[in-house]
Structure 1
Amino acid sequence: MDSNTIMTWLTAERLSLADFLDELEPHEWAADSLCPGWTVHDVAAHLTLSTRTTLLGTITGMIRARGDWDRMTSTAARQRAARYRPAEFIEQVRATAGSDHRAPGAGPLDPLVDALVHGQDIARPLGRTREMPTQQAAAALDHVRVSLFYGARRRFEGMRLVATDLDWSAGEGPDEIRGPVGDLLLLATGRAAGLAGLSGRGAERIAATL
């Protein structure tokens, strides 16, 4: 995947996300997101961290979290959420929309995955619709599906994924999962909410484990 294309997609998605956050009502910022234990405010805080995280900060955070990545990420998001108001986060997302700075260890497509998926983490619990661009979601899904970080390799073992809103499929096995590519991406990143738009024996298998 061409790096310029990825950055163009990422910049557009971040700016769109900032516009989306700008539409939220004050009470919605305190609502629960799809991320367990995170409010919408916490997710917005997390979205501003990838362009600001340093290697030293990551090492320090991991030490304090005793090697637990999820604990470190949650702590960092909540601490940042406590420091800034919603309007400040919106401006921060806009200000760094075109930044190619990534968190240590992240690949070129990881920030795009972050923006696409966390946009749904915010929108869906609020009952709001946020369209996910299919080409970008397919590229993100191709990355997530083979990455060791997201756990999708094991989750989709023995399964074939088929998108119903564009010409995309991947994987082999007797169990099939069909549905919009955005829902497949949510499921690939461990979001049970993605199951709502999916069908097939593979979806039934995964539903029993999430």
Structure 2
Amino acid sequence: MTEEDIRAAVTAERSEQVDLLATLRPDQWDAPTLCAGWRVREVVAHTTMPFRTSPGRTLVELVKAGGRFNRMADRCARRDAARMTSAELLATLRDNVAHPWRPPGGGALGALSHDVIHGLDITVSLGLGRRIPPDRMAMVLAGLAPRNIAFFGTDLTGVTLRATDLDWCHGSGTTVRGLAQDLLLVICGRRLPPGHLEGEAANRFTR
């Protein structure tokens, strides 16, 4: 898995998201996503923020949020979603499919994970049935270090997450099965709609 491979996957993921978002109805842009409190437009405002905001401005926003990243991200996403139309948000993503942004300490693989996760926040909540290509999904899972998993604070005690479409599992205990992309969302603390997971402990991670 080379840097070039990862950057190509980032560009492909963003390009596919552009195509999908372009088909959404106005009411779908205002539909809730798996990100608590965020509609589709807030999620897109968040994923495109690095393309519109300089590192210096981001630092200012972080200071204004008392150094709390999640608070900053929420405040900026809500503000930008209110200021920008869906067409403007979509154009920003379209114009930056090859943008070299990397999250601090995350590298290109962190950028891919960021885009994949938030894309799933949209498509799973809307029931669009989009499947992330297996090779791209494998890249994201390969980049899951313990510190990444710990960041989300999800209680995975006593549970084995086992993918039904890839040779991948995580943890130990009662098995919860699902598509790799759905298990990724579980790790990220998302509550999935019914029918995405199987196993005795599946209800711990569903709505």
Give the TM-score taking structure 2 as reference length: 0.86
Q: 2-side partners of 1:86 and 1:150: how far apart?
A: 33
| SS across alignment from 1:162 | strand
Partner of 1:12: 12
Offset, 1:163: 1.3
Partner of 2:56: 56
Partner of 2:21: 21
Structure 2 matches for 1:86-97, cutoff 5 A?
86-97=86-97
Partner of 2:77: 77
Q: 2-side partners of 1:152 and 1:196: how far apart?
A: 23
> Which residue type is aligned with residue 45 of structure 2?
A
Contact 1:161-1:177 within 8 A present in 2 as well: yes
> Which residue type is aligned with residue 175 of structure 1?
T
Offset, 1:5: 0.8
Structure 2 matches for 1:1-210, cutoff 5 A?
1-144=1-144, 146-148=146-148, 151=151, 155-157=155-157, 159-171=159-171, 173-193=172-192, 196-201=195-200, 203=202, 206-207=204-205
Structural RMSD (CA): 2.5
Q: Structure 2 regions of 5+ residues with no counterpart?
A: none
> Which residue type is aligned with residue 183 of structure 1?
D
Contact 1:53-1:103 within 8 A present in 2 as well: no
Distance 1:80 1:108, change over 3 A: same
> Which residue type is aligned with residue 182 of structure 2?
D
**Which moved further from structure 2: 102-111 or 92-101?**
102-111
Q: Structure 1 regions of 5+ residues with no counterpart?
A: none
Identity %: 35
Contact 1:195-1:203 within 8 A present in 2 as well: no
Offset, 1:142: 3.0
Q: Output one character per residue of 1:117-143: Cα deviation in whole Å (capped at 9) or x when no partner.
A: 212212233232222222212321232
Contact 2:192-2:205 within 8 A present in 1 as well: no
Distance 1:92 1:85, change over 3 A: same
Contact 1:53-1:102 within 8 A present in 2 as well: no
Distance 1:137 1:202, change over 3 A: farther
Number of corresponding residues: 207
Q: 2-side partners of 1:154 and 1:77: how far apart?
A: 23
Q: Output one character per residue of 1:64-88: Cα deviation in whole Å (capped at 9) or x when no partner.
A: 1112221100111122222321112
Distance 1:166 1:50, change over 3 A: same
